[in-house]
Structure 1
Amino acid sequence: MNLDFAPFIPSMPYILKGILVTLQIVIIAGVLGFVLGTILSLFKISNIKILNWFANVYTSIFRGTPLILQLMLIYYGSPQVLGYQIEPYTAAILSFGLNSGAYISEIIRAGILAVDKGQQEAAMALGVPYGKMMWDIILPQALKNILPALMNEFISLTKESAIVTSIGVMDIMRRSYQVGADNYSFFEPLLIAGFIYYLMVITLTFLGKALEGRMRRSD
């Protein structure tokens, strides 16, 4: 096997620009997924049955179907459903955010249920409103317990973001593929893309462990 990376060195700045595109999609979709997941988790532990039903059905659908199918439905189905074609970038954020929200809702729900029930009982005995109790007492404690799981979800989102190349988003994978097509050699640029993703995941893992350690020291 003969590997020659020299022809691809001039194209490195072009490939590296895809990092910003990937990070923008992952960060915005991650925030959307976290907000949506928090809301869904509260629905799941609510005493209102219709909210329970909605959250469980939503989670079942988005966890039970492939992410790439959801991406395709949102992107290619938008002209038929909405009457206009949404941008690939927007479709990527929506699909990843909606999908991530389903997984994060289960993570947060488990974190909330893991908090000592005495905390909630004490807050209720003191007359603390439910919303304030969840926001100021229960959720902060739950987040400390589920931080590793949240970081794993964020890392998975970073890796899975590579599928946006299927709808033409100019991310790391798409740019690497185009460089390969221009040079009639795909193996080296795809290895470069893999190495970039690996470095991103390693960096996120390190940051997650640092944040987890800091939160433990603050207890």
Structure 2
Amino acid sequence: MSVLTMDSWLQASPAWIASLPDGLQTLLFQLYQTFIYQDRWTWYVDGLKITFIVTLGALILGIIIGMLIAVVRTAHDSQRAGKHNPVLGVLNAVCKVYLTVIRGTPMMVQLLISCFVIMVPKDDTGRLICGIVTLGINSGAYVAEIARSGLMSISAGQMEAGRSLGLNYGQTMWYIIIPQAIKNILPALGNEMITLLKDTSLVSVIALRDVTKQAQNIVANTYTPYVPYISLAVIYLVIVIILTKLLGILERRLRASDRR
């Protein structure tokens, strides 16, 4: 791919640009290189699509894993003294090992192991699935603790009320406990989504072309890291600010509904 030089860019640019200070000329040239030349702004757009897909897929997987682990651990801890279910004991032990391993190792290391040792994807689709699964498994460990705290925040009387209506343990959890717990943990889940969005930048280590990888590709073509990486930081910052505002609106509505 051809490299645009500043001299050739100045020759093709309007005359007023040549009258600007050298520092401003350099900045405009780098902005042109990063976004305008060869429609490189589309690289960021394509990368954002991958970033959002990985974030959404990993969040859904993480919520499923986290809720299952939270239910198992809550059921185990809620057992009456002297009445212990051996199956729950084994499942609880497996969950503890999962939480210890996932929370005790860096996400980048998990990505490298899953995508170069376990899955070994051969194309972009494989790398996308690998990224979603790995980040989802990682997120599940943190969602599990969030969900468990939400389940534990529901009074024991709710479970007793459900059982008195003839519901078994699973039905009481599904119809009574979990809906209330989800409402309590929605703000925390939103914060986990924001964290997960920023963590998707790590999938660039497995050559998945998210927005971070696309910025790296632009740097490889322009040999100027300043504008591409600053632009990348601004993109993440804007997205996080928007999500934070939306979460704030959601929290206010939840508080308003609690007062009614």
Q: TM-score, normalised by structure 2?
A: 0.78
Partners of 2:35 and 2:74 lie apart in 1 by 53
Within the candidate set 63, 76, 87, 1:34 is matched to 63
CA distance in 1, matches of 2:67, 2:170: 13
CA distance in 2, matches of 1:107, 1:24: 23
| 1:64-115 Cα shifts (integer Å, max 9, x gaps) | 1100111000000036xx8x75721111111100000111001100110011
Larger Rg belongs to: 2
Residue 70 of structure 1 contacts residue 95 of structure 1 at CA under 8 Å; is this kept in 2?
Answer: yes
Shift in Å at residue 16 of structure 1?
A: 2.0
Task: Tell me how far 1:213 sits from its aligned partner.
Answer: 2.2
Bigger mean CA deviation after superposition, 94-103 or 11-20: 11-20
Runs of 4+ in 1 over 6 A off after TM superposition: none
Q: Which moved more, 1:151-160 or 1:122-131?
A: 122-131
Q: Deviations over 1:118-174 (max 9, x none)?
A: 111211222222112111111111112212211111100000100111111111111
Aligned Cα root-mean-square deviation (Å): 1.8
Match of 2:99 among 49, 53, 59: 59
Alpha-carbon distance between aligned partners in 1 of 2:115 and 2:199, rounded to the nearest angstrom: 17
Partners of 1:217 and 1:138 in 2: CA distance: 21
Of stretches 96-105 and 41-50 in structure 1, the one that deviates more from structure 2 is: 41-50
Determine if contact 1:32/1:97 at 8 Å carries over to the other structure: yes
Question: What is the CA-CA distance between 1:216 and the residue it aligns to?
Answer: 2.8
Q: How does 1:176-215 map to 2 (within 5 A)?
A: 176-215=215-254
Question: Which of 114, 120, 127 is the aligned partner of 2:159?
Answer: 120
Change (3 A) 1:146 1:49: same
Q: Could you list the runs of 5+ residues in structure 2 that have no partner in the other structure?
A: 1-21, 77-87
- Residues matched between the structures, number: 216
Offset at 1:202? 1.1
Give, in angstroms, the shift of residue 6 of structure 1: 2.9
Cα offset, 1:215, TM superposition: 2.7
Change over 3 Å in CA distance of 1:85–1:50 after alignment to 2: farther
Q: Say which of 49, 53, 57 aligns to 1:24.
A: 53
Verify the 8 A CA contact 1:123 1:133 in the aligned structure 2. yes
Select 2:118's aligned residue among 78, 89, 97: 78
CA contact (8 A) 1:78 1:85 kept: no
Aligned with 1:46: secondary structure? helix
Is this contact kept in 2: 1:75–1:85, CA < 8 A?
no
Letter in 2 for 1:31: I
Q: Which runs of 5+ in 1 are unaligned?
A: none
Aligned to 1:9: 35
SS in 1 for 2:75: coil
When normalised by structure 1's length, the TM-score is 0.92
